Amino acid sequence: MRENILAVLLSSLLIFSCAEKKEERPNIILIMGDDIGISDIGPYGGEIETPNLDRLAEGGLRFTTFYNMAKCNPTRSSLLTGLYTGGNGAVHLANLTKNAGYSNIMSGKEHFDPWVPEYCKAENVFDHSFYFWATTEYFLPPSGEFEEPFFLEGRELKATEIEYEKSPMYKTDFITDYALKWLKESFQQDAPFFLYLPYHAAHFPLQARPEDIEKYRGKYRVGWDKLRQDRFERMQKLGVLPQSAKLSPPEDNLNKARGPFISDYTDYYPWDSLSEGQKDSLDLEMAVYAAMVDRMDQNIGRVLKMLEENGKLENTLIMYLNDNGSCPFYTNKIPDVQPGPADSYWSLRTSWANLGNTPYRQYKQCGHEGGSHTPFIAYWSGKIPPNTITHQPGHVVDIAPTFLDLLDIQYPDSIKGYPTLPLHGSSLLPVFLGEERKEPDYFMSGLEKFRMFRSGDYKIVRLNGGAWELYNIKDDPTELVNLADSLPNKVNELSNYHASTQSDAIKKP
């Protein structure tokens, strides 16, 4: 009899233990690239070597249509609060994970719109934070100090105080050094973790380790025309483009662009019209950019390795995206120095940015798909079916509702004495699990003069404060046929709907 009772008790304990394990909340890692085009990475057709992102994509889910806010600060503001715009009452993602008992870590770039409350700053929401604001160099400059400061849990650091493992110090590497240090500490705690890892690569300035540049030197001498066609064909083969997508003409993206552009660097030139010296210089420029993306992927690999070695990878949801499309704002502060070293201040020119945004039109800041369209990869072993692709659209404002679903908690009623602002997105968890979700009523992106507003299959978008353009984004995902003149009622309908969402209250950066 005693043996039977003992067997029943052991069986009950086993069932209870399995149930608890089944309901265990996942660790969460959110990784962001900066000023990287959708087709630059391997999972979306790029020739740049990104084996670790490839691994996440092949083991997880890729979205063909996912939107950011088309620029660094608006994207970060919306991503981390779930709001297109807000103010006091906004709730940071790390507030949600903290309420759920998570250990919270951030290492990387912080850059917010003015509407984001002070209490959402990194040192106020993360248990550990190493961050910088906007633009800093990758190598320590010859001056001995970075142009912009770094902060450790709110305290400004001198360059000599920054911890790093590999010499010479390089920003993408030491961002990861801090993340791994705190991840290792979190493994000792009886709690899940949330790691926010917003890299700065491959934002201006173009600086990379020589060994990474060497991998790509000469690979870009075939030119942007052929590479763009090659990427488009690979994207089609991979299935990461909507089936109706066509390759937009390069001259339409360059010569008709609007903004503070320099014509010598933004006008389109057929590659074969350039001299051998020009081709060699341009090859170096793109090789340095590719090296920066490659180095970011290497560091993502360091994170995956630590998770594996500590038995954490199986129950960790990992998401990757970019803050906007590739950047067209060419600059070169020191013309005599070629891209690559610590005293170089080049940025990528527009024809290479056009390659990154294959097959879409326009760039960073624009609501056209080239600016607002990001790769989005979600990996969660045993939960997200491997090597799957979804055509359901999503947006960075959907991340916060997704967190609520994952954490199985309620959105708070108040924060810091303010009533909380209602979230603007909806959970992506059904999509992660291979189900259909109700599509949000609308999506929004782009700076005020470059705004886009999409509802259903139609999208309005303007360029530099111009008239609204109209596209059937389902039939014409690369925005080649402007329907504004033929469907003026649809333009008015979407314009009025856009106004009713109070989108004009979005702050200018």
Residue 6 buriedness (CB in 10 A; 0-12 / 13-18 / 19+):
exposed
What is the rounded CA–CA span in Å between residue 80 and residue 93? 5
Domain boundaries, the chain: 25-436
pLDDT the model gives residue 253 = 56
Task: Compute and round to an integer the Cα radius of gyration of the chain.
Answer: 23
Q: What is the mean pLDDT of each run of 10 residues along the chain (509 residues)?
A: 44 40 81 98 98 98 98 97 97 98 97 96 97 92 93 95 97 98 94 97 96 98 97 97 90 49 65 94 97 98 98 97 91 81 91 96 95 97 97 98 97 97 97 97 96 98 96 96 98 96 47
pLDDT the model gives residue 254 = 54
Cβ(96)–Cβ(408) below 8 Å: no
pTM over 0.85: yes
Cβ(30)–Cβ(400) below 8 Å: no
pLDDT the model gives residue 190 = 86
pLDDT the model gives residue 503 = 46
Q: Is 417 left (phi over 0), alpha (psi -120 to 50) or beta?
A: left
3-state class percentages of the chain: helix first, strand second, coil last, to nearest 5: 40, 15, 45
First CA to last CA across the chain, in angstroms?
75
Cβ(69)–Cβ(324) below 8 Å: yes
**Buried (b) or exposed (e) across 117-134, using 16+ Cβ within 10 A?**
bebbbbeebbbbbbbbbe
Q: Which of 112, 23, 115 is nearest to 71 (CA)?
A: 112
The tokens of 190 are what? 């009886």
What is the rounded CA–CA span in Å between residue 348 and residue 289? 7
The tokens of 170 are what? 């390089």
What is the rounded CA–CA span in Å between residue 509 and residue 451? 13
Sign of torsion, CA 106 108 112 118?
positive
The amino acid sitting at 210 is: P
pLDDT the model gives residue 55 = 98
pLDDT the model gives residue 251 = 65
CATH topology of domain 25-436: Alkaline Phosphatase, subunit A (3.40.720)
Q: How do strand 388-390 and strand 61-63 relate by DSSP bridges?
A: parallel
DSSP letter at 341 equals S
Question: Any idea which residue has 């906004």 for tokens?
Answer: 90
pLDDT the model gives residue 130 = 98
